[in-house]
């Protein structure tokens, strides 16, 4: 079974769905039509470039190029994560990059060695798409975790100070905030895992079925991808929060508000 092509006319037909959306936004005075158009424009431009250069990357299939491309993906994910978490770029870029890169590389290599058992573990058409799926999840989870954690610290700073005064260490005083941030960030992943197949058919499975793969093979890939996404997301969240805590509290355990955009 071949996946049906989508013509230029089909793309235009899809874009026409934005018209009623923008009408509703305008009628309700929600005020994000400009941002919506900008986001759609960027999506078209970025994915257009991806469609062109991935063809050459897949044909070249050079391990160094593939790894470099994943590094670039992680870098831009880190930039986006910092921006959406309202943190200072200079202070958090390196730690955020590392918190995303280490779990991603470890899980990619593990997946290709022990799950798919590829002879070339850096095979472009597996290595890069799986990295993209993991990074998309990591980005969302890290933003939620950081926002949840630091919102708690800011709104309950008196509780934190009281715990310190009562003799708690920084780690002990921050533990309730840390746990809640992890729970909040991982809740959507667990909900998705619990309802997959009943509520939705996720991207990997749908893509493979559209591409002509046997549904049983598509299901196997989907199960494995969801497991590695969950593992990578949790590992990245833990690293991200630990790095952030080290940078956001001084030697006297005081929270540094100046590290955040206002």
Q: What share of the chain is helix, strand, coil (3-state, %, to 5)?
A: 80, 0, 20
3-class secondary-structure state, position 249:
strand
Amino acid 205: pLDDT: 67
Count of domains forming the chain: 2
Amino acid 123: pLDDT: 93
Residue where a domain terminates, one of 28, 60, 92: 60
Q: Which domain range does residue 149 map to?
A: 62-259
Amino acid 182: pLDDT: 96
Residues 160 and 124 reside in one and the same domain: yes
* Regions in the chain scoring below 70 on pLDDT: 1-3, 197-206, 209-213, 261-262
Residue where a domain terminates, one of 9, 41, 60: 60
Pairwise CA distance, residues 133 & 25, whole Å: 30
147, HSE (Cβ side, Cα atoms, 13 Å): 14
Residues 113 and 69 reside in one and the same domain: yes
Residues 7 and 130 reside in one and the same domain: no
Pairwise CA distance, residues 243 & 65, whole Å: 29
Residues 32 and 145 reside in one and the same domain: no
Quote the pTM value.
Answer: 0.83
């Amino acid at each position: 079974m071949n996946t049906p092509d989508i013509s230029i006319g089909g793309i235009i037909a899809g874009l026409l769905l934005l018209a009623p959306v923008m009408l509703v936004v305008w009628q309700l005075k929600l005020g994000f039509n400009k941002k919506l158009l900008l986001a759609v424009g960027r999506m078209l431009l970025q994915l257009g470039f991806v469609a062109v250069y991935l063809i050459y990357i897949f044909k070249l299939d050079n391990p160094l190029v593939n790894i470099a491309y994943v590094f670039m993906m992680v870098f831009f994910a880190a930039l986006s994560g910092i921006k959406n978490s309202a943190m200072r770029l200079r202070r958090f870029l390196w730690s955020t990059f590392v918190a995303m890169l280490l779990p991603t590389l470890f899980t990619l290599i593990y997946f290709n060695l022990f799950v798919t058992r590829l002879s070339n573990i850096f095979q472009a058409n597996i290595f890069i798409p799986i990295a993209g799926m993991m990074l998309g999840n990591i980005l969302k989870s890290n933003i939620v975790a950081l926002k949840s954690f630091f919102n708690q610290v800011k709104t309950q700073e008196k509780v934190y100070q009281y715990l310190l005064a009562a003799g708690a260490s920084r780690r002990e005083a921050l533990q309730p905030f840390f746990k809640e941030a992890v729970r909040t960030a991982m809740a959507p992943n667990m909900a998705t895992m619990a309802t997959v197949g009943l509520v939705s058919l996720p991207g990997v499975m749908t893509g493979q079925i559209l591409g002509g793969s046997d549904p049983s093979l598509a299901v196997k890939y989907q199960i494995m991808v969801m497991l590695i996404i969950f593992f990578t997301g949790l590992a990245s969240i833990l690293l991200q929060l630990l790095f952030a805590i080290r940078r956001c509290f001084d030697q006297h355990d005081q929270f540094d508000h100046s590290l955040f955009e206002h």
